[in-house]
Amino acid sequence: AQSVAQPEDQVNVAEGNPLTVKCTYSVSGNPYLFWYVQYPNRGLQFLLKYITGDNLVKGSYGFEAEFNKSQTSFHLKKPSALVSDSALYFCAVRDRRSGGFKTIFGAGTRLFVKA
């Protein structure tokens, strides 16, 4: 069965500092991995994804994520946080072997960036 874990309910970081939002996953095969962001009263917005190839994936708004197969992790990172990055972040996984579109989302991590 597929599952996604986001071990931190909230991450606090000062503006200008690097940020990391953690994600680990479990799938029976090879995964497609995604990060989405949700601002208050809005739908989820796609940030980036890992499909194949380079383990370091770059996405929108300066975010990047590193796929680590041995650790089954896909942590979201940004070198310098902005106050406007404060939002709810979701990691998601899809088993590419299943052939379907069923995506499992993590519980979400709230990022708070302090000025």
Partner 1 sequence: DAGVIQSPRHEVTEMGQEVTLRCKPISGHDYLFWYRQTMMRGLELLIYFNNNVPIDDSGMPEDRFSAKMPNASFSTLKIQPSEPRDSAVYFCASSWGAGTFLTNGYEQYFGPGTRLTVT
Binding residues (CB under 8 A) for partner 1: these are: 32, 34, 36, 41-46, 49, 51-52, 90, 94, 96, 98-103, 105-108
Alpha-carbon torsion angle 48, 110, 67, 29, nearest 10: -90
Q: Which is nearer to partner 1, 9 or 115 (CB)?
A: 9
Give the residue with the Cβ less far from partner 1, 73 or 103: 103
What is the smallest separation between the CB atom of 66 and partner 1, expressed in angstroms? 18
Residue with smaller CB distance to partner 1, 59 or 77:
59
State the nearest-atom distance from the C-beta of 102 to partner 1, in Å: 6
Reduce the DSSP state of residue 51 to 3 states and report it: coil
The nearest distance, CB 32 to partner 1, in angstroms, is: 5
Please state the φ and ψ torsions of residue 94, each to the nearest 5 degrees: -140, 130
User: How many Cα atoms are found within 13 Å in the side-chain-facing hemisphere of 27?
Assistant: 23
Distance in angstroms (rounded) separating the CA atoms of residues 73 and 52: 15
